[in-house]
């Protein structure tokens, strides 16, 4: 007989009967279980029970031998899915004996439907009126985000509008520009399914625009400061609800409140953080080292590779690698970060390509996929073009005795910091000896003190390196005369004719 339930490890979401339901945007995931090694001999099977009505009724969904570590579950519908695992011994006794009264192992709500949203943006002279509607079975009102931008702003910069969360709402605010005002509404459900809609008002002829300052508002909106990092000395006010010093108001039917104390938008930087510098590589496929440091009892099930070719304006799922495919060992209670390598494929030469990794637990949980405007974790640029290298014939240095002037021309759009190496050799095959004790800057020439004992003729080689590791080489095929000795004649006297 199986003694107690200690043989069954806690599942990914715990075994708390009061635990809240977790929302998943995928219909395929793993439900982990673990039998203690010393008890496996007494376990015949693990049984997965499923309830689609939040615990009112249960039915046996699938069974596995105790050597497995989890059930691979494929849902056929959206909605609540509660799971409990039972263990069956060789005498056909089950623990727990009565599934309906046992603690629920996992409570999941599967939601694969994308939310819907609509946005209406209207201009009434100098005012902008907006109305939104957010539709979803499981709306996450805390995710609602409303932003606007003017034609003068870069396309990746937005001014946030604080709103009272609701599936629908409306309001108005003075237009900060006479041009067309673009408004963006974004939201997600509890499973992370995302929706984004954009509306635009018409431009109207107007006098020269006034400086953008505090904007009085009406309805359920408040125009706030930039969503991007503040300028030095303009950090958030920790005492305010949003973190920024802004005023929440109650609309009046006859008068507008005085918002003179609202901070001017220009006080806060609206610059988007710069993207990470692109690392240049000369291979179409590279291996990326990464580490997953925060895990639950189920460990890591898969890592998704998302990529962008337009600096985060759009994202594509490039690949998904499960840890089972990599052969990595998974523990039920990992105590140290998991490290691994994953291949990245670059699509176009000369165009920076961004990558972001998203880890998923074995239960299918993970952060949402990268959204529009999000910066990549790493940027790579594929470059296989070798630098151009030209080596000119050496000439004596008129300013330094026993020196040769070596001249060259090197060009590449991605030259290394010190890209030049010059070498000499007795023979075309080498061995080669470096001129100077380090790589040289691309100055175009260098003065070389010919060492004593150097042969009168040598071969010269110029190597130019770019940041991706590509090499351009210029080499003399015939030996070059480097003998700088100037003959001297001494008169010895007259000969006697013999």
CA-wise closest residue to 122 among 212, 176, 183, 167: 183
CATH number of 388-481: 2.60.40.10
CA-wise closest residue to 174 among 184, 164, 159, 187: 159
pLDDT computed for residue 291 by the predictor: 85
Mean pLDDT of 68-76: 85
pLDDT computed for residue 9 by the predictor: 34
Task: Give residue 204's pLDDT band: very low, low, confident or very high (50, 70, 90).
Answer: low
CA-wise closest residue to 454 among 412, 378, 394: 394
Q: Is the dihedral of CA 250, 253, 259, 262 positive or negative?
A: positive
Does 22-110 match 116-267 in CATH topology?
yes
Beta strands in 175-284 (DSSP E): 182-189, 194-200, 218-219, 221-223, 279-281
Q: What is the value of pTM for the model shown?
A: 0.42
Within 10 angstroms of residue 304's Cβ, the number of other Cβ atoms is 19
Q: CB of 196 within 8 A of CB of 248?
A: no
Residue 220 has pLDDT above 90, yes or no: no
Long-range CB contact pairs, 428-436, < 8 A, 24+:
428/459, 428/475, 428/477, 432/461, 435/406
Q: Exposed/middle/buried for 155, CB within 10 Å: 0-12, 13-18, 19+?
A: exposed
**Residue ranges of the domains in the chain?**
22-110, 116-267, 279-382, 388-481
pLDDT computed for residue 230 by the predictor: 34
pLDDT computed for residue 463 by the predictor: 94
- Name the CA radius of gyration of the chain, rounded: 35
Architecture of domain 22-110: Sandwich (2.60)
Q: Which residue has the higher pLDDT, 437 or 425?
A: 425
Task: Give residue 30's pLDDT band: very low, low, confident or very high (50, 70, 90).
Answer: confident
Fold (CATH) for 279-382: Immunoglobulin-like (2.60.40)
Residue 328 has pLDDT above 60, yes or no: no
Q: Which of 14-23, 86-95, 435-444 has the lowest mean pLDDT?
A: 14-23
Q: Is the dihedral of CA 24, 27, 29, 35 positive or negative?
A: positive
Task: Express each pLDDT in 288-316 by its tens digit.
Answer: 998 887 777 667 788 889 999 988 888 98
Return mean pLDDT, the chain.
76
Task: Express each pLDDT in 82-116 by its tens digit.
Answer: 999 988 888 889 988 899 999 898 899 999 888 99
CA-wise closest residue to 116 among 189, 32, 57, 65: 189
Task: Express each pLDDT in 168-183 by its tens digit.
Answer: 888 887 777 778 888 8
Residue 228 has pLDDT above 70, yes or no: no
The verdict on domain 116-267 having CATH code 2.30.40.10 is no
Structure tokens at 284: 């179409």
pLDDT computed for residue 327 by the predictor: 42
Residue 399 has pLDDT above 80, yes or no: yes
Q: Which of 62-71, 110-119, 152-161, 211-220 has the lowest mean pLDDT?
A: 211-220
DSSP labels, 391-460:
EPPPEE-TTSTTEEEEEEEEE-TTEEEEEEEEEEESSTT---EESSSS-B-S-SEEEEEPPTT--SEEEE
β-pair type (70-74, 28-32): antiparallel
Residue 10 has pLDDT above 60, yes or no: no
């Amino acid at each position: 007989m199986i003694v107690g339930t200690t043989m069954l490890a806690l599942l990914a979401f715990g075994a708390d009967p009061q635990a809240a339901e977790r929302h998943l945007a995928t219909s395929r995931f793993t439900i982990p279980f673990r039998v203690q090694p010393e008890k496996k001999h007494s376990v015949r099977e693990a049984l997965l029970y499923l309830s689609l009505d939040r615990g009112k009724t249960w039915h046996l969904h699938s069974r596995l031998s105790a050597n497995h570590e989890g059930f691979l579950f494929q849902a056929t519908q959206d909605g609540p899915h509660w799971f409990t695992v039972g263990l069956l011994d060789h005498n056909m006794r089950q623990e727990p004996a009565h599934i309906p009264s046992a603690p629920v192992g996992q409570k999941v709500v599967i939601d694969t439907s994308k939310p819907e949203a609509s946005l209406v943006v209207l201009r009434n002279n100098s005012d902008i009126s907006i109305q939104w509607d957010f539709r979803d079975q499981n709306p996450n009102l805390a995710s609602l985000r409303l932003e606007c931008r003017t034609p003068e702003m870069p396309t990746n910069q937005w001014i946030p509008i604080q709103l009272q969360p609701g599936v629908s709402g409306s309001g108005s605010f003075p237009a900060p520009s006479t041009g067309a005002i673009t408004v963006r509404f974004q939201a997600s459900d509890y499973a992370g399914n995302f929706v984004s809609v954009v509306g635009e008002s018409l431009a109207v002829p107007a006098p020269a625009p006034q400086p953008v300052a505090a904007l009085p508002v009406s309805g359920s909106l408040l125009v706030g400061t930039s969503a991007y990092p503040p300028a030095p000395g303009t950090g958030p006010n920790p005492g305010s609800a949003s973190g920024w010093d802004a005023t929440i108001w109650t609309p009046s039917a006859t008068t507008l409140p005085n918002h003179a104390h609202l901070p001017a938008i220009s006080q806060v930087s609206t610059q988007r953080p710069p993207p990470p510098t692109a690392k240049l590589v000369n291979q179409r496929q590279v291996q990326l080292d990464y580490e997953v440091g925060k895990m639950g009892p189920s460990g890591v099930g898969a890592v998704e590779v998302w990529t962008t070719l337009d600096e985060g304006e759009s994202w594509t799922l490039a690949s998904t690698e499960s840890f089972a495919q990599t052969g990595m060992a998974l523990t039920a209670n990992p105590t140290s970060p998991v490290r691994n390598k994953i291949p990245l494929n670059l699509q176009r030469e000369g165009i920076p390509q961004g990558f972001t990794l998203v880890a998923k637990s074995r239960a299918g949980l993970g952060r949402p996929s990268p959204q529009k405007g999000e910066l990549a974790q790493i940027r790579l640029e594929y470059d296989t073009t070798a630098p151009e290298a030209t080596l000119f014939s050496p000439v004596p240095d008129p300013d330094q005795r026993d020196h040769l002037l070596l001249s060259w021309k090197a060009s590449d759009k991605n030259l290394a910091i010190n890209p030049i190496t010059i070498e000499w050799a007795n023979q075309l095959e080498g061995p080669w000896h470096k001129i100077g004790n380090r790589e040289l800057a691309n100055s175009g020439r260098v003065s070389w003190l010919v060492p004593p004992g150097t042969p009168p003729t040598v071969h010269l080689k110029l190597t130019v390196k770019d940041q991706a590791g590509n090499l351009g080489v210029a080499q003399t095929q015939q030996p070059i005369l480097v003998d700088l000795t100037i003959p001297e004649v001494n008169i010895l006297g007259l000969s006697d004719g013999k």
